[in-house]
Amino acid sequence: MNPSQYADRLIRKLETLADLSDEEKHALRGLPMTVKAFGADQDIVREGDCPMECCLVLTGMLFRYLVLDDGRRQIMGFYIPGDIPDLQSLHITIMDHSVGTLVPTTVAFIPHQSLNDVNARYPTVANALWRDTIVDAAMFRLSMVGLGRKSAHERIAHLLCELLVRFKAVGLADDERTCAFPITQGELGDALGLTTVHVNRVLRDLKRDGLVTLRGRSLHVDDWERLRELAKFDPTYLHLEGRKATE
């Protein structure tokens, strides 16, 4: 990935959130970005930090999490290229959770100041970013439904559906039914409120029933219709279409 493509990731993402004029795209290309490569299992921002920049995922994968005093961990979401997981830090000073790498990941840091300048000048961009934080919130809400009211089988099936759809939306799926899946069973458990052991048993069921195959670090969905039905997956909450004109 070469430097001129960094902004492309961002633009491609924002175009799923708003129609951008050439001038706006030009302004986005002008944003200063500091690119940094991280190894696996490293924190990008930590609970208690007051970051002065936002991070854009270029390659690899991040996750958002909180660890309680006694070691219990809740993972609140996984982030793929194009995502800006700490966009919220533009408006709230202190991080109430951490963001770390799942695998070796490159990230572009964009100073808050620069983003605020672009936002002040281009309301369409500001609204697209606002919209991104709102879609994030919709994903949290749906996770709440899973954690509070769905069985382990439903939760796991739902996460698999969501990841495939999101990878496809940014053009990074290997094919129509296959995408990267660098998430361990322990991490899956922490994201879904389950233990490693139980995640393992449920995945065994899903494989046995011919719904999915997990090989190496990739996910292949063998029977999308049945997986979708089990998960009751409805991509509405991702708000990938039907966005609203604000002008």
Partner DNA sequence: CGGATACTTGAGGGTTGTCAAAATATGTGG
Partner DNA sequence: CCACATATTTTGACAACCCTCAAGTATCCG
Residue 88 binding: pick among its own copies, DNA, none (C-beta 5-8 Å cut-off by kind): its own copies
* Residue 133 within binding range of its own copies, rule CB under 8 A: yes
The residue among 30, 28, 73, 35 whose CA lies nearest residue 55 is: 35
88 or 200: CB nearest DNA: 200
State yes or no: residue 151 binds DNA (CB under 7 A): yes
Tokens of 216: 């190496």
Distance of alpha carbon 88 from alpha carbon 93, whole angstroms: 9
- Contact flag: residue 197 with its own copies (CB under 8 A): no
Site string for DNA, 164-203 (x = CB under 7 A): --------------------xxx--x---xxxxxx-xx-x
Q: Does 218 bind DNA (CB under 7 A)?
A: no
CA 188-157-203 angle, 5° bins: 60
Q: Which one-letter amino acid corresponds to residue 20?
A: L
Closest CA to 155 of 209, 114, 195: 195
Could you say which of its own copies, DNA, none residue 44 binds, taking C-beta under 5 to 8 angstroms by partner kind?
Answer: none
Contact code string over 138-177 relative to its own copies, x by CB under 8 A: x-xxxxxx-xxxx---------------------------
DSSP 8-state code for residue 236: G
Least CB distance from residue 152 to its own copies, whole Å? 12
51 vs 182, which CB is nearer to DNA? 182
d(CA 179, CA 176): 8
| Among the listed residues 89, 190, 188, 177, the one whose alpha carbon sits nearest the alpha carbon of residue 136 | 89
